[in-house]
A and B are shown apart, each in its own frame.
Chain A
Amino acid sequence: MSDEQFLNDPELQHLARLLGGLPLRPSDTERSKILLACGRAEGRAEAQRTIRNLRAGMLVFAGVSACLLVLVLNRPFAPVSNNVPETRQFTENEHSGSAPDTPNNEIPIFDRERIKTFGVMTPRSEWDREPQYKVQNPSPETIELVNQRPILTTRSQAVLEELLN
């Protein structure tokens, strides 16, 4: 049932149809103006949505960063573990002839029995403990080897050759 049927007067119905057929269209300029304004509004809304999303992302990122920073600052620092490489003695074949940087009798050998790896669960009382070393006693073979091979410098070798000649 049409809404117009309540109008009993056919003249009124005709008038309503005539009015509905009036070309009430905006001018081209007005239409373009409204469309331009709509486009600008849409672009502005899109930009605002993007900025809002970026802000939310940055807030989340900043929150996570702050939490991590607090965790790192509150975490106790453990000392760096002493990773001393295991020493070994030189054999005769490996001897290059140059004097070692450290005398053999002073080369520290890590005390394996007291090696302890520091970790997160290491109690604090253990941290300040200095690593323990023991001094290796030179073996008789090393002493003999050193006695048989005098270390000669260039100058002493020249003096020896001069005496022999």
Chain B
Amino acid sequence: MPISAEQLTALIDRHAVPLRIWAGRRCSAAEDIVQEAFCRLAVLKQQPDNPAAWLYRVVRNLAESDRLSSERRIAREAEVAPTEQFQSDPEENIQKDEAVKAVWKLEESLREVITARIWGGLTFEEIGLLCDISTATASRRYRDALEQLRIKLESPCPTNNS
């Protein structure tokens, strides 16, 4: 049974932004990749058992594919016409929340675990399968990410007073 419009809207509301954080800096077009993942979910004849886990996996695969093709394209273009590269920062389009910014600045391996755990609602076992790591590693990275976030969020904002 395909996914209904109401379910799709609820999934978009809940997972669109976290999925962009999940895609992270792997690719330069996280927004397009998230949209493509939702499109693929919409055309499925049979909806997956866990749509959130399915979306996270598809976004990860698409982001990885996009990263590889971008690298090839950039290398090809650099050979033909070496110019200054311009890349837009995906963070610009995400909400400027302090906590989200702190998550965004985490190391990639930590960021994907904490995003999938907190906003994706996935279990550590599912995260381990997604990221090709063990369940113990996933839980350890999650704890490390939270500790780093606590340190970042507790530290005072830098001031211009010298």
The 23 listed contacts between A and B (C-beta, < 8 Å) are A3-B117, A3-B123, A7-B143, A7-B146, A12-B147, A12-B150, A19-B103, A24-B17, A24-B100, A24-B119, A25-B13, A25-B14, A25-B16, A26-B16, A26-B17, A30-B16, A31-B9, A34-B12, A35-B5, A35-B12, A38-B42, A41-B40, A42-B43
- In the bound complex, residues from chain A placing their C-beta under 8 Å from that of B119 are 19-20, 24
Among B75-108, those with CB < 8 Å from A are 95, 97, 99-100, 103
Closest CB of chain A to B140's CB: distance in Å? Answer: 10
Instruction: Give Cα A18–Cα B153 distance, bound, in whole angstroms.
Output: 12
Residue from A16, A33, A34, A38 in contact with B118 in the complex, judged by beta carbons closer than 8 Å? A16
The dominant DSSP class at the A interface is helix
A69 at the interface (CB under 8 A from B): no
Instruction: Give Cα A34–Cα B5 distance, bound, in whole angstroms.
Output: 12
- In the bound complex, residues from chain A placing their C-beta under 8 Å from that of B139 are 3, 6
Residue from B35, B95, B103 in contact with A33 in the complex, judged by beta carbons closer than 8 Å? B35
Contact size class for B? 35 or more
A84 at the interface (CB under 8 A from B): no
B95 contacts A24, C-beta separation under 8 Å: yes
Instruction: Give Cα A38–Cα B119 distance, bound, in whole angstroms.
Output: 22
B34 at the interface (CB under 8 A from A): yes
Closest CB of chain B to A31's CB: distance in Å? Answer: 5
